Amino acid sequence: MKPYSQRILAALEKVSGSGRSMYQVFDDFLDMALATLESIPAHLESARTTHALADDTGETKALWDRLRNQYSKEDFNRLHEAFEHLMDSASEWQDAIGEAFMLSNAGNARAGQFFTPFHVSILMAKITFGDIDAEIRHRLYEACEGDILLQMQVTMGYLKSGNEQYEFFIGTLLPQLIEKIKPISVCDPAIGSGGTMLAAASLVPRFALDSKIVIFSGCDIDSRCVKMCKINFLLYGLNGEHLKWLWGLSLFEADQLPEELKPAAQEALAVPENDREQFVNDFNDTRYQQPSLFGTIGALVEKNITVG
């Protein structure tokens, strides 16, 4: 059976075969997938309370109108088929959208877009994270502030497993501790499709993800990469509120970046919009020759994940 990434790509190639570039088809698919996934919570809540789907936002309606006008019914159904394969891929930890992107040759080689294979990302996450479960447990005990009864509850939670453990932590213990827990921050300054952060998340107990004991942040110079990463985070229910396109950062947000990222980000934000493509190309032509500009980010990319 073909991997999900190949099934996604096969459906999109049929669309691009009708005279459109794969670059444009993939970009439209990302917009479609992201808009659909972002609207699911509102639709579910509306269905629960009113037994009807929620109204789409004006922006989402405009997207659907554009896609239906741009694509034939047959091609639109193929985009839907690709989305079904993407949804099915979330049955296990993987970066199907990133793999499909690289297989499609829609990436920009000059922008350094060579995403790390997911099995390699898993290995790197294990090396970088170490025993993440032990670190989470340590922070839970630390949050107990010497309260022996709470510490006993932490121990009790770890004697449980599966759904029983999840329900105990989420429903009983964490409401008492959540304000006191120092979260573990996972940052990727060049997120790509988010594969390295997905790999990191796959090592974290679900209760720690859903309660934001482990939080994720990152940025990228390519807005498509941010879209892919957001899609992956929505597929797996991860807390990716701080995923940003670099040129989508406000000055305030840039000021909140880790100190090692600020100089590069602030210099990039000063680049006029019409000069950004050349800026990215110039940077990637020299990223391994000089430690300026995004050189700091480039060095951190080699680590893929930083834990703070």
Tell me the per-residue pLDDT of 203-252, one tens digit each, with 9 for 90 and over. Answer: 999 999 988 899 888 777 788 888 899 899 888 888 755 555 566 666 66
142 and 99 co-located in one domain? no
95 and 143 co-located in one domain? no
Tell me, yes or no, whether 127 lies in a domain.
Answer: no
12 and 73 co-located in one domain? yes
At 10, the pLDDT band (50, 70, 90 cuts) reads very high
Tell me, yes or no, whether 251 lies in a domain.
Answer: no
Tell me, yes or no, whether 48 lies in a domain.
Answer: yes
Mean pLDDT is lowest, of 70-84, 175-189, 220-234, 291-305, for 291-305
Give me the pLDDT at residue 115, please: 75
Measured on CA atoms in the order 281, 287, 293, 294, is the torsion positive or negative? positive
3 and 100 co-located in one domain? yes
Tell me, yes or no, whether 74 lies in a domain.
Answer: yes
Asked if pLDDT for residue 130 goes beyond 50, the answer is yes
Tell me, yes or no, whether 202 lies in a domain.
Answer: no
Cβ-based neighbour number of residue 194 at 10 Å: 32
Range(s) of the domain holding residue 160 = 132-180
Q: What is the mean pLDDT of the chain?
A: 80
Cβ-based neighbour number of residue 118 at 10 Å: 21
Tell me, yes or no, whether 163 lies in a domain.
Answer: yes
96 and 175 co-located in one domain? no
At 305, the pLDDT band (50, 70, 90 cuts) reads very low
Tens of pLDDT, residue by residue over 171-214, are 899 999 988 999 998 888 778 888 988 999 999 999 999 888 99
Tell me, yes or no, whether 58 lies in a domain.
Answer: yes
Give me the pLDDT at residue 298, please: 36
Number of domains in the chain: 2
147 and 56 co-located in one domain? no
12 and 77 co-located in one domain? yes
Tell me, yes or no, whether 256 lies in a domain.
Answer: no
